[in-house]
Amino acid sequence: MNQKNILKNGLLFVLLCLVFACQAPKKETGLSSIDALIPKPQSVTKTTGDFEITDKTAIYVGNGAEESIAIASYLAEKLKPATGFDLPVSVASGQPTTNSIVLMKSDDSQLGEEGYELTITQDQIKLTAPHAAGLFRGVQTIRQLLPAAIENTELQKGVEWEIPTGTIRDFPNYAYRGMMLDVARHFFSVEDVKRLIDEMAYYKLNVFHWHLSDDQGWRIEIKSWPNLTKFGGSTEVGGGKGGFYTQEQYKDVVKYAAERYITVIPEIDMPGHTNAALASYPELNCSEQTIKLNPGNEVKRKVPGLYSGIEVGFSTLCTSKEITYQFIDDVVRELAEMTPGPYLHIGGDESHATKKEDYIPFVKKVQEIVVKHGKKVVGWDEIATSTLQPNSMAQVWAKAENGKLAIAQGAKLIMSPAKKMYLDMSYDSTSKLGLHWAAYIEVDSAYAWDPATLVKGISRENVYGVESALWSETIQTRADIDYLTFPRLPGHAEIGWSASPDGTEGSRSWEEYKLRLATFGPRMKAMGINFYKSKLVPWVE
């Protein structure tokens, strides 16, 4: 054949393939579940066959540790509604054999704090991990290996609850994989927060960052400063009634998260983003404030009123008053007392109303207060313009330069670049929810990048982890949270958990990932998640 003919035949072949593919019936199931896991495990070895969960399946824990029993019971509970099976959980005496799911602690320390190994044969599922957190992460893999119908809350008849056989060995790339929810711009109930925590757990996230205060609302009860919630908690963006969490509710959420091996990091944003506090306690203001709501619309008054707009950067605590630090000390003390996790987030972003020469010593002082109360500091990237405490971390959202300042001080970074990880950015110009000051973020753009190569001068060893951020100016309901969060969060979860094939942006393949994500359509649907049905994803029906 001459060159022309080769070209002609090649073209014909491509054309035929295209026509054929167009006419092929839509695949119903997409990839096998073991090929579709999100986040992608470090290693998967498939064998042929299936393990089937039946009403005779028993769950065993290999040793009596209370935590393992709790995780096994969590699994049984997750399996119950759709299958109708009430699988017994018990401590194994001897070697459990056929038709069993076994959870066991191992001394495979290579797997680290959250790693696990899953060995599935036709007779048995064996989940082992050196720590309880690993067993819990492995249970999420078991859920994802089952048919999507497993996530229904109603009984599903006629489904074979099969899991493909093979071995999965898995552990996270980054130690910190978080999500932030802003409950200040709009308030969300304890129930909504718990649901989000459940959704995070499914994708193996391990940090819930709770943005508890801002200009529009103060959402956490502080017993020594009761007006914060009494006044500051009484509104939200758009003028709705707002709300706040009692300390009991806060502790309940912390416990709920801990049962899912998720650490809560509470944030009190300061010195800016503090209008709700300033309106609640006049003494936190400097004598007179110029409140800039819009350029050309400047108001001078002693104490600001409550605020329900969405402008940023107009408020500041009075950094020169002693009472301000008494206030912060009390807030940090009460928060630290009910937060078992190691970190408190001090905000520090967009303090445009604070003079630079006041901001720098302020951030330094606040870190000292946090450390005095036994916690480490996380703050938005701006805090790196001050002197950081040895264990403080900077969360890079806007300025990579600030990230580099933090690195130069020996600090680690949490990567939340707004152009990639801000879940409040709209998908495209037709999206009805969200803002777009940083970017429109379609599902592919949220996924195909790498935190260790995004910015020159910030590399793998500087990055402690990644965090998705959901600001709530434009969202009010659980369905709204879902819509902006899904399906971008699974992609972010993978960026945090799964090492990108060769550490470069290009090696995280959207073309490969989108086929896996497509199989999560039915899963999200079964979970009742109001996700955005991006046209870029070949959703499985």
Q: Which two structure tokens, joined as six digits, stand for 353?
A: 């109303």
Would you say 471 or 513 has its CB closer to ligand TNX?
A: 471
**Closest among 336, 382, 72 to 222, alpha carbons compared:** 336
Positions of E strands within 174-330? 176-182, 207-211, 213-214, 217-218, 263-270, 289-294, 297-301
What is the rounded CA–CA span in Å between residue 134 and residue 157?
Answer: 32
Least Å distance, CB 415 to ligand TNX, is 13
Rounded to whole angstroms, what are the CA distances from 407 to 264, 459, 463? Answer: 24, 10, 9
Would you say 148 or 423 has its CB closer to ligand TNX?
A: 423
Q: Which two structure tokens, joined as six digits, stand for 437?
A: 């000051």
**Closest among 89, 47, 52 to 72, alpha carbons compared:** 89
Q: Which two structure tokens, joined as six digits, stand for 255?
A: 């416990």
**Closest among 400, 464, 448, 425 to 177, alpha carbons compared:** 464
Would you say 312 or 371 has its CB closer to ligand TNX?
A: 312
Which residue shows structure tokens 């029906």?
541
Least Å distance, CB 422 to ligand TNX, is 6
**Closest among 361, 355, 354 to 386, alpha carbons compared:** 361
Least Å distance, CB 156 to ligand TNX, is 39
Least Å distance, CB 492 to ligand TNX, is 16
H helix or E strand, kind and range, residue 163: strand 161-170
Would you say 210 or 380 has its CB closer to ligand TNX?
A: 380
Rounded to whole angstroms, what are the CA distances from 382 to 241, 360, 402? Answer: 31, 10, 6
Least Å distance, CB 466 to ligand TNX, is 15
Least Å distance, CB 423 to ligand TNX, is 9
Would you say 286 or 312 has its CB closer to ligand TNX?
A: 312
Would you say 56 or 352 has its CB closer to ligand TNX?
A: 352
Query: CA angle at residue 111 from 109 to 116, to 5 degrees?
Result: 120
Active-site positions? 350
Q: Which positions ≥6 away from 379 have C-beta within 8 Å?
A: 345, 346, 347, 348, 363, 392, 393, 394, 395
What is the rounded CA–CA span in Å between residue 195 and residue 208?
Answer: 12
Would you say 123 or 311 has its CB closer to ligand TNX?
A: 311
What is the rounded CA–CA span in Å between residue 36 and residue 521?
Answer: 12
Would you say 467 or 482 has its CB closer to ligand TNX?
A: 467
DSSP-assigned letter for residue 155: -
Binding site for ligand TNX (CB under 6 A): 312, 349-350, 380, 397, 422, 424, 435, 471, 473
Would you say 422 or 449 has its CB closer to ligand TNX?
A: 422
Query: CA angle at residue 328 from 322 to 332, to 5 degrees?
Result: 150
Contact 441, 419 (CB under 8 A): yes
What is the rounded CA–CA span in Å between residue 391 and residue 411?
Answer: 7
Least Å distance, CB 85 to ligand TNX, is 44
Tell me which amino acid residue 428 is. Answer: D
Least Å distance, CB 44 to ligand TNX, is 37
Least Å distance, CB 198 to ligand TNX, is 24
Q: Can you give the length of the chain in residues?
A: 541
What is the rounded CA–CA span in Å between residue 200 and residue 110?
Answer: 25
